[in-house]
Amino acid sequence: MLHKEGKSIFVILIGSLILLLWGVGQVGGVWSIVLWLLLAFVLFMLVFSIQFFRNPKRPIATLDNSKIYAPADGKVVVIEETTEHEYFKDKRLQVSIFMSPLNVHANRVPVSGKVQLSKYHKGKYLVAWHPKSSTENERTTTVIKTDDGKEILVRQIAGAVARRIKNYMSEGQAVKQGEELGFIKFGSRADIFLPIGTKVTVGLDQMVKGNIDVIAEW
């Protein structure tokens, strides 16, 4: 299934492909070669876009707020205690997932609850694995509070290639585990901040999938 964020790009590429195919039949000589090269490029971009904007259905069979599901597909690149300065302003356990251009880029809600904060920040475009990308890059912050009072922060971070973050959350909104949280176009990262003492169930460099892999339990 193609994600809604890619449908306009898909339409443009299909339209370009049709026009180029028509043009190849109308001209000859050097222009024919140019059009064939353009046709090959558009076809490559179409295949890449289908791969990048894929959005597999992954419903969570049984909602369980004692488990924190991965909000993104990718590689776990950070597991550490750190100070979260924007919202909690205290020590938290950070788990970061790096999304390469080959990963699914739909972001998902890791726990059920109510959105306490949804905020967009302009910023730089450092590579997503840079230590300062969490605080200096373009990003959005979403805080979800569970019914029993626990809070989790998910930060979507743009990378050196990613230039557009979509976040579907709004403050006061009730959300369910597994729903779509947002989408980041091209290479990017998701940081999750958890209470100290939360049991992390993944390891560094482990590949995880949103709505499938449990990254922590409390």
The SS3 of residue 144 is strand
What is the domain extent for residue 153? Answer: 67-217
What was the pLDDT predicted at 72? 94
**Which two three-digit tokens encode residue 68?**
């924190």
Q: What angle do CA 208, 112, 154 make, to 5 degrees?
A: 55
Q: Which is catalytic among the residues 112, 118, 134, 188?
A: 188
Q: How far is CA 97 from CA 32, 35, 57, 85, 129, in A?
A: 45, 40, 20, 19, 9
Q: Are 187 and 101 in contact (CB under 8 A)?
A: yes
Residues 6 or more apart whose Cβ sits within 8 Å of residue 58: 108, 178, 209, 210, 211, 212
- Is 96 among the catalytic positions? no
Q: Does 97 share its domain with 16?
A: no
Q: Does 78 share its domain with 32?
A: no
Q: Does 165 share its domain with 134?
A: yes
Give the chain's domain count.
Answer: 2
- Is 136 a domain residue? yes
Q: Does 46 share its domain with 103?
A: no
CATH of the domain at 167: 2.70.70.10
Q: Does 40 share its domain with 79?
A: no
CA dihedral 112, 117, 122, 124 (to 10 degrees): -50
Global model pTM greater than 0.85 = no
Q: Does 71 share its domain with 34?
A: no
H-run or E-run covering 142: strand 139-145
What was the pLDDT predicted at 57? 85
Q: Does 120 share its domain with 207?
A: yes
Q: Does 150 share its domain with 84?
A: yes
Q: What is the pLDDT of residues 2-13, one digit of tens each?
A: 767 767 887 888
Q: Does 16 share its domain with 76?
A: no
The position carrying tokens 């992390």 is 200
Buried b (16+ CB within 10 A) or exposed e, 162-176: beebbbebeeeeebe
Q: What is the pLDDT of residues 86-115, one digit of tens each?
A: 999 999 999 999 988 788 889 999 999 999
Q: Does 193 share its domain with 100?
A: yes
Question: Which of the residue ranges 19-28, 57-66, 107-116 would you say has the lowest mean pLDDT?
Answer: 19-28
Q: Does 147 share its domain with 87?
A: yes
CA dihedral 58, 175, 133, 92 (to 10 degrees): -110
Going by pLDDT thresholds of 50, 70 and 90, the confidence category of residue 134 is: low
- Is 190 a domain residue? yes
Q: Please, is 123 exposed, middle or buried when counting C-beta atoms within 10 Å of its C-beta (0-12, 13-18, 19+)? A: middle
Q: Does 148 share its domain with 78?
A: yes
What was the pLDDT predicted at 122? 84
> Shortest CA distance to 110 belongs to which of 52, 193, 185, 166?
193
Going by pLDDT thresholds of 50, 70 and 90, the confidence category of residue 160 is: low
| Residue-wise DSSP of 23-77 | HHTT--HHHHHHHHHHHHHHHHHHHHHHHHTB------SS--TTEEE-SSSEEEE
